[in-house]
Amino acid sequence: MRPSPILLSTSFKFLSRPTASKVFYGKRMTQGVPSETARLQNQANMSSSQSTELGIESQVNTAAGLQLSSQQRVLVGSVLDLFAGKPTLKKLQLWTDDATFSDPLTKAEGRKQYEAQWYGLKAAFSSIDQLHSQVTSSGNPITMDLKTKYVVKGIGKEQTVNSVIKIFTDEQGEKIKQGSSVFRNLNSVVVPAFVSVPKSEEEEAKKST
Do the domain assignments include residue 170?
yes
Q: List the CATH number of the domain containing 152.
A: 3.10.450
Strands, E, within the chain: which ranges? 4-9, 100-102, 107-109, 125-137, 142-152, 158-168
In this model, does residue 17 exceed pLDDT 50?
A: no
pTM here is 0.69
Name 109's Cβ contacts closer than 8 Å, sequence gap at least 6.
98, 100
Q: Which of 30-34, 165-169, 175-179, 191-195 has the lowest mean pLDDT?
A: 175-179
Q: Please give the tally of structural domains in the chain.
A: 1
- Domain span at residue 142? 4-15+38-208
Please report the pLDDT score of residue 127 as a whole number: 94
Does pLDDT of 139 surpass 70? Answer: yes
29 three-class SS: coil
Contact predicate 134/208, CB 8 Å = no
- Is 10 inside a domain boundary? yes
Q: What is the pLDDT of residues 22-51, one digit of tens each?
A: 323 333 333 444 555 554 455 555 557 788
Radius of gyration from C-alpha coordinates of the chain:
18
Q: List C-alpha distances in Å: 42 to 22, 31, 46, 118, 128.
A: 11, 18, 6, 32, 33
pLDDT score recorded for residue 1: 54
Is the confidence at residue 184, as pLDDT, over 60?
A: no
Amino acid at 143: T
Model pLDDT, residue 129: 95
